[in-house]
Amino acid sequence: MLWKLKKLWYRVFQFVLTSAMYLMPWRQPELITGAGSIKQLPSFIRKKGIGHVLIVTDAVLHRIGLLNSLFAACDEAGLTYTLFDGAEPNPSIENIEDARKLYVENACQGIIAFGGGSSMDCAKAAGARVAKPRQSVAKMGGTLRVLKRIPPIFAVPTTAGTGSETTIAAVVTDRATHHKYAVQDLCLIPRYAVLDPELTIGLPPHITSTTGMDALTHAVEAYTNLFAPKSTDRLAEQAVRLIFDNLEKVYQNGTDLEARYNMQLASFYAGAAFTRACVGYVHGVAHTLGGLYGTPHGLANAVILPYVMEAFGPAVYPKLARLADIVQIQGKDDEEKAKAFIREIRRMNTDMHIQDKFDFIEEKDIPQMIKWAMKEANPIYPVPVLWHEPEFQALIARIRK
């Protein structure tokens, strides 16, 4: 009886929240696109009246020289920069505070977030701390707890998957507890984004595949959620079509610039879709794996996605069938098409050498995983089927080796 009342409360909450979203000032980043477009960014920033930026990236991208063209363009445009190359794969509170300190000490006026989702999460959260110096990152965890204009962020994705260049979220890890959670606020949406396919050419095949499946997870979860506006459905459909048409192409041939750019667009569209429509239980569980074991987020999503869609059953058949039609998967009815669509996700994972289970999940951690996943997802994610402890327990049992 108590669970029935909770479910009713969750649905009322989700309906009210999604209805209120129509009144919120949603926006998408202004785009700079095309091969070599990173070289245009510094002069673009200077025209905005900004003379000094903090560049947030990771040590690997710095070491392999991926930022060299940006540095050269900054020098040519007269844009002064301070480099923070310490963004961690799962940015921690300490990591964010280090970036914030550099920003303040060097009197920066904006942030270039260069890299994958982790660099962008670090940059967004650091920007929030600059805007609210008296509020800790932990206190910002959750939805609409920043509510203040942050420094302008210029997002430069070097992967095609997270969609962080267009989302309201910054995912943070608490080192002390290994808890991974999101700071979500409209002010965190970057003002500008650069989609330069040349920056993704050097991605190894495994990162190409898992980040691409991350984008697919964003699109599918946003599409199957309840109460979403028609606009996000269209974005998710575009993202799914682009991913099915291009992901395996770039996995096989990483130098295909057109396919690389199409994957960047897919990531952008999927990010814009889930920013309004939310993600779901795939993300709720994936975040626990990232916090406890350091599992790359795209890999976690890729593995978990087909299991969750299967568990939702008939509730998602009509939506998955529509996606099957879009990517030309055949079936005699919605159920057959939906199941074929899920099988195709598994086929893509297998062909791109993505595992189908995890062998490191420890029994002792499962209660904590369930607690964190439920806290993140309920009541805010308008998933098609609401889960309590038994459903999460069953899912985790299925993804464990």
Q: What is the pLDDT of residues 34-88, one digit of tens each?
A: 999 999 999 999 999 999 999 999 999 999 999 999 999 999 999 999 999 999 9
Upper half-sphere CA count for residue 29 (Cβ side, 13 Å): 30
Average pLDDT, the chain: 96
Q: What is the DSSP string of 167-180?
A: -SEEEEEETTTTEE
Q: SS3 sequence, 192-226?
A: EEEECHHHHCCCCHHHHHHHHHHHHHHHHHHHHCC
Domain range list for the chain: 2-21+205-399, 34-200
The fold of the 2-21+205-399 domain, in CATH, is Dehydroquinate synthase-like, alpha domain (1.20.1090)
Q: What is the DSSP string of 50-103?
A: --EEEEE--HHHHHTTTTHHHHHHHHHHT-EEEEE----SS-BHHHHHHHHHHH
Mean pLDDT of 223-237: 95
At residue 143, the pLDDT reads 86
At residue 114, the pLDDT reads 98
Q: What is the pLDDT of residues 4-18, one digit of tens each?
A: 899 999 999 999 988
Does the global pTM surpass 0.85?
A: yes
At residue 67, the pLDDT reads 97
Q: What is the pLDDT of residues 301-323, one digit of tens each?
A: 999 999 999 999 999 999 999 99
Domain covering 34-200 assigned CATH 3.40.50.1970 in the classification: yes
